[in-house]
Every structure is written in C-alpha cells, then in structure tokens.
C-alpha cells in the first residue's frame, strides 16, 4: 500500500466553523505543530477573499519548511493570482457541477460555462508554476456521467491531484468506495477525499476511500469545519498507525494541538471523544479495571502513552459524580431501603448489577451517594 498522506485543513475548513477565527500568530503556531506532527500538507486559507487574507496566507507559508502548503481558490484568474502571491506550493481550485450547485452557486450558469472556467483556471495556475489540486465540490451528489466529463478536462489540463468532496456528508462507506474506485479509473492523477461528518461517518468513509485507492485524506484538528466538521486528524492518523503500520506521526504533539485549537475555538472535546476526550483512557467499571490492572490489553487496543496521555483505573471522584443521577432512587423512605445499615450492598434491580452504597452516607441527607455500580465478582 502506498503511504497515505494527510492534508490538514484546520486553518481553512476549520476556520469556517461557526465562531472560529485564528490570529496570524495562532495560525503560525498551529501550522508549526502540524508540521512537527507529521502531516504532509496544510491548507492555509483562501487568499482571494481579501488583501489581508492574502498577506496572512503568505506569512504562514513563509514559516513552513518541512511540509507542503496549499491555498484555496475559486476557478477564476484573480483568485489564482492571489494564490500565487502567497508563495504556496499548491493551489486548490474547486467547483461544483450538479444541478443544485449550478442553480445556487453559479446563478444558473450552464455546466459548460463552469467547465470552461475550470479548464482555463487550471491552465493559468500551471503556467504560473503552481501545482494544482482540483476538487469536485459536492461530488457525493454528482452523477458518474458528470464525474467522467470532468475527468476529461482535468486529464487534459494535467492536474496533479483530484479531490472528491463529500461536501454535505452524504456518503456512506459503500457509496464512497464506489465513487473513489470510479475516480481512480478515470483520472490519471492521485485521488484525495474531503469528507464531511454530518452522519458521523467521515472516518469510516476515509477508510473506505483508502481501500478504493485514495491516497490523500483531508483532516482537521478535532475535526472542526463547517457544520459537523470533517475527519479528525487524531483519529485518522492513529487509525493509520494501527491498521497500516504507519510510523510517521509524532503523536506527542497531540496534546498541544488539541489544547491550542480547543482554547481558541472554545470547542472542548466531549468526554467520550476518541483519544482526546477526558474519558478516552479511563477504565471505570470494576470488572474492566480489575482485568486491566493485570494486563492493560484486556480492555485496551489504543494505548494512551503513544499520545502522551495516561490510562486511569477506577477514578473514584469521577465515578461518584457521574453516578449521582442514580441517587434519586435511594431517597430515605424508598421501599427498597429502610436504613443506612441496609445500604451496604443492595440489590438495585438493574440487570445483574449490584449497587454499592458509600458507607459514608449521611442518613439525614435526602439522597444517598452511590459510590459505584459494578458486576458481581465471579
Ligand atoms: C468549501 C467547500 C469545501 C471545499 C473542499 C475543497 C467542501 O469551500 O467550503 O476545496 O477541497 O467541503 O466541498 O470545503
Ligand atoms: Cu469542506
């Protein structure tokens, strides 16, 4: 298998998430840590938007030495020129061709008109010496016939990469596989995928795309991006390491990147988020914790040390807090519970579980604090 490359789009797609805006210094900081993490290429921004954005992209590109840089541009000469001014290695030109896009994004221009724009923009970018990625926006809702027509243009123009965007997160792994396979056959360049996460399927689709022959996957730190975002950098890279023995990532950068992006975006990862959520490496039930204390592999496939985190067994404070909701059922006077003395081990009635009530309960308190729920020992 060829090495799968990661394109990180935290600074472009990520900054498009609602409420997220990075300063120049923050962009440089994030870019440098992505470089050290080992991503292959970053999407720096969309310089054609304004003079200021062009300056910012230029300054970020100047700081990057060990990975490639790409800036985004619509299929028009002014935006390609602006991309060229930033000094990025790549321009990522994008356009969409399906009926809904022609109606809403190109004010009812014809598909032929968009195709001409695309062809002349690609040729112009190549003349300027830029490497060109062309993205079929909304590819997941574009017919195979149209995809084939685009292949004729991009093959003729000599694009270096072709990206299929699941702009609205409409793919499932099977559909994604079919279109990537079709693209591998029809385009004579590398295939990239840009996968939105509206159904929570972005990572699964990425693995399907790899099986079908895609070699570049778009990601962002914590998966941030429009709406539900895109593929998460940490989940993607860790799964490449585990499933494909990819040893190229410096996972020790995980914590820093997570912290800086979470701080600036104010998106705190949900507790059960893979790798960076606060529960990701906590083994809570007694059954799990006991087995893991003998050999952590019992309930662990992905190890925290790789990312600079620690596994935890039985974190009592947290358990008590999380189980408080059960305590309502143990109000004094509950028919189950007559006195504090009876509380030590009391059949709770949820499946085969026993409830162990904290011996420090205060009888006068309206609720008893339940320390934890666990399965009976064998
Ligand atoms: C956008 C849409 C986009 C483009 C992807 C790309 C998408 O510009 O906001 O140019 O590779 O999801 O289709 O992010
Ligand atoms: Cu996108």
Ligand 1 pocket test: pick from 6, 8, 13, 20 the residue with the most ligand atoms within 8 Å of its Cβ. Answer: 13
In angstroms, what is the C-alpha Rg of the chain? Answer: 26
CA distance 29 to 20: 16
CB-CB contact of 221 with 233 (8 Å): yes
CA distance 355 to 348: 6
CA distance 186 to 103: 27
Q: Is the CB of 94 under 6 A from ligand 1?
A: yes
Q: Which of the residues in the chain have pLDDT under 70?
A: 314-378
Q: Report the pLDDT value the prediction gives residue 80, as an integer from 0 to 100.
A: 98
Helices (H), 40-88: 51-63, 77-85
Tokens of 357: 């009530």
Q: Report the pLDDT value the prediction gives residue 289, as an integer from 0 to 100.
A: 81
CA 353 to chain centre: 36
Q: Is the CB of 13 under 6 A from ligand 1?
A: yes
371-377 long-range Cβ contacts below 8 angstroms, 24+ apart: 371/316, 371/319, 371/320, 371/323, 372/286, 372/314, 372/316, 372/319, 372/320, 372/323, 373/285, 373/323, 373/326, 373/348, 374/285, 374/286, 374/287, 375/285, 375/286, 375/287, 376/352
CA distance 318 to 72: 44
Q: Would you say the pTM of this structure is higher than 0.80?
A: yes
Ligand 2 centre and the CA of 196: distance in Å?
6
Tokens of 214: 């895609």
Q: Report the pLDDT value the prediction gives residue 19, as an integer from 0 to 100.
A: 87
Atom of ligand 1 nearest to the CA of 72: 10
Q: Report the pLDDT value the prediction gives residue 314, as an integer from 0 to 100.
A: 62
- Residue 72 annotated among the catalytic residues of the structure: no
Ligand 1 centre and the CA of 198: distance in Å?
14
Q: Which tens digits make up the pLDDT trace of 197-210?
A: 999 999 999 999 99
Helices (H), 248-375: 254-265, 286-294, 316-323
Among 78, 79, 85, residue whose Cα is nearest residue 69? 85
CA distance 173 to 178: 9
CA distance 302 to 194: 25
Q: Report the pLDDT value the prediction gives residue 20, as an integer from 0 to 100.
A: 93
285-291 long-range Cβ contacts below 8 angstroms, 24+ apart: 285/373, 285/374, 285/375, 286/314, 286/372, 286/374, 286/375, 287/374, 287/375, 289/313, 289/314
Among 127, 28, 130, residue whose Cα is nearest residue 71? 130
CB-CB contact of 57 with 90 (8 Å): no
Q: Which tens digits make up the pLDDT trace of 65-93?
A: 999 999 999 999 999 999 999 999 999 99
Count of residues making up the chain = 378
Q: Is the CB of 92 under 6 A from ligand 1?
A: yes
Tokens of 370: 């339940």
**Cβ within 8 Å of residue 238, ≥6 positions away:** 251, 274, 275, 302, 306, 307
Tokens of 79: 């935006």
């Amino acid at each position: 298998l060829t090495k799968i490359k990661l394109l990180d789009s935290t600074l472009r797609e990520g900054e498009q998430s609602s409420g997220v805006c990075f300063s120049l210094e923050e962009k440089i900081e994030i870019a440098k840590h992505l470089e050290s993490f080992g991503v292959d290429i970053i999407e720096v921004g969309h310089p054609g938007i304004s003079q200021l954005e062009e300056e910012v992209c230029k300054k970020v590109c100047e700081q990057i030495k060990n990975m490639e840089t790409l800036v985004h541009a619509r299929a028009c000469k002014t935006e390609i020129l602006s991309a060229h001014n930033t000094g990025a290695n790549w321009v990522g030109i994008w356009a969409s061709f399906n009926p809904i896009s022609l109606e809403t994004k190109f004010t009812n221009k014809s598909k032929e008109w968009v195709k001409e724009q695309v062809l002349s923009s690609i040729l112009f970018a190549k003349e300027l010496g830029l490497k060109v990625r062309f993205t079929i926006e909304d590819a997941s809702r574009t017919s195979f016939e149209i995809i084939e027509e685009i292949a004729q243009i991009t093959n003729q123009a000599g694009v270096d990469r072709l990206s299929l965007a699941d702009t609205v997160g409409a793919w499932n792994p099977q559909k994604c596989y079919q279109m990537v396979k079709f693209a591998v056959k029809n385009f004579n360049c590398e295939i990239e995928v840009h996968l939105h996460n509206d159904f929570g399927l972005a990572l699964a689709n990425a693995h399907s795309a790899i099986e079908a022959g895609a070699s570049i996957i778009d990601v962002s730190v914590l998966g941030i991006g429009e709406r539900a975002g895109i593929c998460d950098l940490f989940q993607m890279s860790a799964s490449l390491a585990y499933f494909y023995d990819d040893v190229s990532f410096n996972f020790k950068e995980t914590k820093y990147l997570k912290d800086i992006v979470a701080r600036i975006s104010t998106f705190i990862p949900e507790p059960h988020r893979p790798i960076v959520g606060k529960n990701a490496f906590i083994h809570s039930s007694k059954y799990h914790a006991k087995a893991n204390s003998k050999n952590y592999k019992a309930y662990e496939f992905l190890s925290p040390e790789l990312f600079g985190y620690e596994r935890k067994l039985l974190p009592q404070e947290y358990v008590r807090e999380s189980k408080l909701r059960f305590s309502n059922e143990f109000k004094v006077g509950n028919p189950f519970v007559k006195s504090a003395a009876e509380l030590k081990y009391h059949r709770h009635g949820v499946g085969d579980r026993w409830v162990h009530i904290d011996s420090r309960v205060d009888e006068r308190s309206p609720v008893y604090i339940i320390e934890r729920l666990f399965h009976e020992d064998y």
